[in-house]
Structure 1
Amino acid sequence: MATSNQSKSSNLFKIIWEALIFLIKNWQILLIFVPLYFINFLLSIFKSLSVNPILTKLLQNITSLSKLKPPNPDFYQIFSEILTELREITILEIIFFVTIFLFSTLLSTSTLCSICMTYTDKKQPTLKELFSKFKKTWKGTMITQFYATIFTNMFVPLIFLLTVGLALFSMNSAGFYVLSFILLISAVILNLYLAMIWLLSVVVSVEDEEGIYGLAAIVKATEMMKGRRWKGISINIFITSSMVAYMLPLMDPSLSGMKKLAIIGVFFAVAAVMNVFDLVVAVVFYFECKKGDGELMMMKKNQSGFGYSSLPSEALADSENP
């Protein structure tokens, strides 16, 4: 068992190391896409700057309204302002959601096209080759990403409500608190697993030879994760922890003025690089899954002659490591 765990751990670091070496050797990818990811982050900031003032005013009006009764003339005025603010927030949220979704999906698609072509061909694609692959895959990738976004937005609130519900109805029972804690940990692990499936399904939409996308890509990504669930979860833990690591400096309350702006600038630069690196890790993991699933065919002799059969993961691993 110890040898098996050590092998899985070394395999995980091998994927991360291979992704790092790939990105160092093909640093041109960073030059092309990092500035675009920077723009993506700026869109998120612009969204916050647009929505937060209205949200703050909305909360103030709700607090004021709670202290008034309908006969008071100010009640109807504040109530009208609340409805206006809710309408403004809804419109802004929809506009920014659509804009950021479209931009980030098209950006991740073009980045994955470049990474996959460089990874398989061992050379940087020309602009014409990159545009040709992008034109073939962007619609399917967007549909896949749309499904992944819907499933994510359904899963997280559902688990949150279940956990809070158990905690509220626990009646100070230690057993229910333990059950809530177990459910929460299980939900976190499941979310990491599902997030890796969503990411892998996007790579499938870009790279799969059959041109599958949407739910079919998610199904294929799920099949590719069989036998590699913990490896996929471990990779996602690495991706998530790296994001948390470069966010920590922003949480320092003592930061102010130019120092804070400088750290935010560095944060965006590092975050953009990490976004590209995370996609490289996903691509390396995707090709390892394909290799392990026995897409390398082996000829075997049978009674009627020769036939082809797909090797199981374990047999392929043994043949690669004599």
Structure 2
Amino acid sequence: MTTSNQSKSSNPFKIIWEALIFLIKNWQILLIFAPLYFITFLLSIFKSLSVTPILTKLLQNITSLSKLKPPDPDFYQIFSAILTELREITILEIIFFITIFFFSTLLSTSTLCSICMTYTDNKQPTLKELFIKFKQTWKGTMITQFYATIFTNISVPLIFLLAVGLALFSFNSVGFSVLSFILLILAEILYLYLAMIWLLSVVVSVEDEEGIYGLAAMVKATEIMKGRRWKGILINILIISSMAAYILPLMDPSLSEKKKLAIIGMFFVVAAVMNVFVLAVAVVFYFECKKGDGELMMMKKKNQSGFGYSSLPSEEALTDSENP
């Protein structure tokens, strides 16, 4: 008996294409979950509308305070106002962070449950089946997403500070400018790799049979990505490039306000669809990694109902069966 059943590894374009075809065939997933992502966008807009006026006042008071000295009677009044505004901004940021985090995590978990169950079973799960899967995985997924959010919020500012620092030091040196550019590119590549690990770790928390989550899920995601690091990085680049295509038109200064509002409206629609699409890509890539890893060999079934995977014996099991 041979193990020639394992299909050839897909390239990043095929993985993205398969995710797209999967969502087209199972359009109900988009119809149900994509509109819910508008709530996340509305919360973000409401947060901006709530924080921006206070932040504007804070900056004005800081400017006024810089022109005064402690003996001035207005100094302590403005200083007290600054402390109050800082407290208000902090409270609002915490409230909105918790609200948006909980809602977006629960939404992404339910979306992933639906995608994974549809992808593996070749049929839409019933509401009861989806609820059972969600109930089993939402806590672990939330913990994993919490770690991913922390790491993202740390790594993005670090890369920004690195870019600013390198720009300052390389201002008068061509050699250092080239070195700085190379280091910045490497930092970006590292971030894209880590971002794919964090995304895969959320899928692991939903789909892995061992029920692992948190840092353990990230370790698992790192393991199954071995040998496919560049594939994961290229997938991320393709996704980001497709998103950038919808942001660039907003930077055109010749656009009228009505056209900008229309583009922004279109952007929100596309962004909602892209949220579901990115999760579908992550699921396809996850099963691609598992298939190639040998830990859970799968055979792709091509039939009229769509795409899916069915479990096959591992190489070790096949060898044992041949040599009793």
TM class, shorter-chain normalised? 0.7 to 0.9
Aligned to 1:306: 323
* Alpha-carbon shift at residue 140 of structure 1 (Å): 0.3
Aligned to 1:273: 273
CA RMSD for the aligned pairs? Answer: 2.0
Distance 1:281 1:167 in 2: 35
Aligned to 1:247: 247
Distance 1:120 1:94, change over 3 A: same
Q: Contact 1:246 / 1:271 at 8 angstroms: preserved in 2? A: no
* Structure 2, unaligned runs of 5 or more: 1-7, 298-313
Alignment of 1:217-256 (within 5 A): 217-256=217-256
Aligned to 2:195: 195
* Alpha-carbon shift at residue 233 of structure 1 (Å): 0.3
Distance 1:223 1:234 in 2: 18
Aligned to 2:283: 283
Q: Contact 2:54 / 2:89 at 8 angstroms: preserved in 1? A: yes
Distance 1:178 1:96, change over 3 A: same
Aligned to 2:211: 211
Q: Contact 1:167 / 1:176 at 8 angstroms: preserved in 2? A: no
* Alpha-carbon shift at residue 258 of structure 1 (Å): 4.1
Count the aligned residue pairs: 298
Aligned to 1:32: 32
Distance 1:91 1:287, change over 3 A: same
* Alpha-carbon shift at residue 11 of structure 1 (Å): 1.6
Q: Contact 2:171 / 2:177 at 8 angstroms: preserved in 1? A: no
* Alpha-carbon shift at residue 64 of structure 1 (Å): 1.5
Aligned to 2:147: 147
* Alpha-carbon shift at residue 163 of structure 1 (Å): 4.4
Aligned to 2:73: 73
* Alpha-carbon shift at residue 50 of structure 1 (Å): 0.7
Distance 1:250 1:20 in 2: 26
So what's the TM-score if we normalise by structure 1?
Answer: 0.87
So what's the TM-score if we normalise by structure 2?
Answer: 0.86
Aligned to 1:117: 117
* Alpha-carbon shift at residue 114 of structure 1 (Å): 0.2
Q: Contact 1:116 / 1:283 at 8 angstroms: preserved in 2? A: yes
Q: Contact 1:192 / 1:233 at 8 angstroms: preserved in 2? A: yes
Alignment deviations for residues 155-181 of structure 1 (CA, whole Å, 9 cap, x no partner): 223343344445545683444333322
Aligned to 1:320: none
Distance 2:247 2:163 in 1: 27
Alignment deviations for residues 216-257 of structure 1 (CA, whole Å, 9 cap, x no partner): 100010011111111000001111112221122333344455
Distance 1:242 1:279 in 2: 15
Distance 2:320 2:102 in 1: 51
Distance 2:268 2:163 in 1: 33
Alignment of 1:29-178 (within 5 A): 29-169=29-169, 172-178=172-178
Partner secondary structure for residue 300 of structure 1: helix
Distance 1:89 1:114 in 2: 37
Distance 1:180 1:256, change over 3 A: same
Distance 1:244 1:170, change over 3 A: closer
Distance 1:112 1:170 in 2: 44
Runs of 4 or more consecutive aligned structure 1 residues displaced over 6 Å after TM superposition: none
The residue identity in structure 1 corresponding to 2:193 is Y
Alignment of 1:251-266 (within 5 A): 251-266=251-266
Distance 2:186 2:210 in 1: 34
Distance 2:240 2:167 in 1: 27
Alignment deviations for residues 262-307 of structure 1 (CA, whole Å, 9 cap, x no partner): 32222111110111111111100000000000122132269xx727
* Alpha-carbon shift at residue 196 of structure 1 (Å): 0.3
* Structure 1, unaligned runs of 5 or more: 1-6, 308-322
Distance 1:170 1:264, change over 3 A: closer
Percent of aligned pairs with the same amino acid: 85
